[in-house]
Structure 1
Amino acid sequence: MTVVRDDADGLVAWLAPGTPLLKPVLTDGRELRHAGPTGMFSQERVLKLDTWRGTGILKVVPPGKPWSVWYFWSEDGAFRGWYVNLESPHVRDQAARRTTTQDHVLDLWITPDRQIHWKDEDELEGAVLAGRFTQAEADQITATAHRAVLDIQAWTHPFCDHWETWTAPPDWPLPPAPADPQPELFAS
Structure 2
Amino acid sequence: MTRYWQPGTTIEWVYEGSGQHAELPNVRPMTVVRDDADGLVAWLAPGTPLLKPVLVDGRETRYAGPVRMFTEDRVLKLDVWRGTGILKASPSGKPWSVWYFWSDDGTFRGWYVNLEREHVRDLAARRTSTADHVLDLWINPDRSTEWKDEDELEGAVTAGKFTPAEAERIVADAHAAIRDVEVWVAPFCEDWQAWVPPASWRVPTAPTTHQPALIAEELHS
TM-score normalised by the shorter chain: which range applies?
Answer: over 0.9
- CA RMSD of the aligned region, Å? 1.4
- Superposed counterparts of 1:1-188, under 5 Å: 1-93=30-122, 95=124, 97-179=126-208, 181-184=210-213
Q: Write the deviation string for residues 153-177 of structure 1: whole angstroms up to 9, x where unpaired.
A: 1101100000000011122101111
SS at match of 2:53: strand
Whether the 8 Å contact between 1:61 and 1:69 is mirrored in structure 2 is yes
When residues 86 and 121 of structure 1 are mapped into structure 2, their CA distance, relative to the original with a 3 A threshold, is: same
Whether the 8 Å contact between 1:37 and 1:126 is mirrored in structure 2 is yes
Instruction: Report the count of equivalent residues.
Output: 185
Whether the 8 Å contact between 1:86 and 1:104 is mirrored in structure 2 is yes
TM-score under structure 1 length normalisation: 0.95
TM-score under structure 2 length normalisation: 0.81
Q: Write the deviation string for residues 53-101 of structure 1: whole angstroms up to 9, x where unpaired.
A: 0200000000010000000000000000000000000001262621110
- Structure 2, unmatched stretches of 5+, are 1-29, 215-221
* Structure holding more helix per residue: 1
Whether the 8 Å contact between 2:102 and 2:110 is mirrored in structure 1 is yes
Whether the 8 Å contact between 1:49 and 1:181 is mirrored in structure 2 is no
SS at match of 2:66: helix
- Structure 1, unmatched stretches of 5+, are none
SS at match of 1:143: helix
Whether the 8 Å contact between 1:48 and 1:181 is mirrored in structure 2 is no
Worse overlay, 12-21 or 165-174: 165-174
